[in-house]
Amino acid sequence: MEPLILTAAITGAETTPQDQPNLPYTPEAQAKEAVACFEAGARVIHLHVRDDNAQATQDVNRFKDSIEAIRQACPEVIIQISTGGAVGASFDSRIAPLQLKPDMGTLNGGTLNFGNEVFMNAPADIERLAEAFKKYDVVPEVEVYESGMIDYIARLVKRGVIVSEPLHVQFVLGVPGGMSGQPKNVMYMAQHLKELIPTASWAVAGIGRYHIPASMMAMTLGGHIRVGFEDNIYYHKGVIADSNAQLVARMRRIADEIGRPIASPQQAREILALPKK
* Strand (E) or helix (H) holding 216: helix 211-221
Residue 230 domain flag? yes
Cα–Cα dist 172/147, whole Å: 11
CATH of the domain at 189: 3.20.20.70
Range of the domain at 100: 6-271
Integer Cα distance of 128 and 92 in angstroms? 10
Q: H/E element holding 43?
A: strand 42-47
Q: What is the DSSP letter of 89?
A: -
Task: Identify whether 178 is part of a domain.
Answer: yes
Domain-located, residue 259: yes
DSSP per-residue letters across 105-137 = EEEE---EEETTEEE---HHHHHHHHHHHHHHT
3-class state of residue 225 by DSSP: strand
Does residue 277 sit within a domain?
no
276 belongs to a structural domain: no
Kindly state whether residue 153 falls inside one of the protein's structural domains. Answer: yes
- The structural domain count of the chain equals 1
Separation CA 93–CA 224 (nearest Å): 29
CA–CA distance, 106 with 124 (Å, rounded to integer): 16
The backbone torsions φ and ψ at residue 48, rounded to the nearest 5 degrees and listed phi first, read -105, 155
What integer pLDDT is reported at residue 57 of this predicted model?
Answer: 95
Say what the pLDDT of residue 251 is: 98
CA distance 66 to 74: 12
C-alpha to C-alpha distances, 214 to 8, 61, 149, 161, 259, nearest whole angstrom:
15, 35, 18, 30, 18
pLDDT, averaged in runs of 10, over the chain (277 residues): 96 95 98 98 98 95 98 98 86 94 97 91 96 96 98 96 92 96 98 97 97 97 98 96 98 97 97 87
The answer to whether residue 1 sits within a structural domain is no
CA gap 267, 245 in Å, rounded: 20
Where residue 210 falls (left for φ over 0; alpha for ψ -120 to 50; beta otherwise) is: alpha
Is 119 within the bounds of a domain?
yes
For 109, list phi and psi in degrees, rounded to 5: -95, 10
- pTM of the predicted model, to two decimals? 0.96
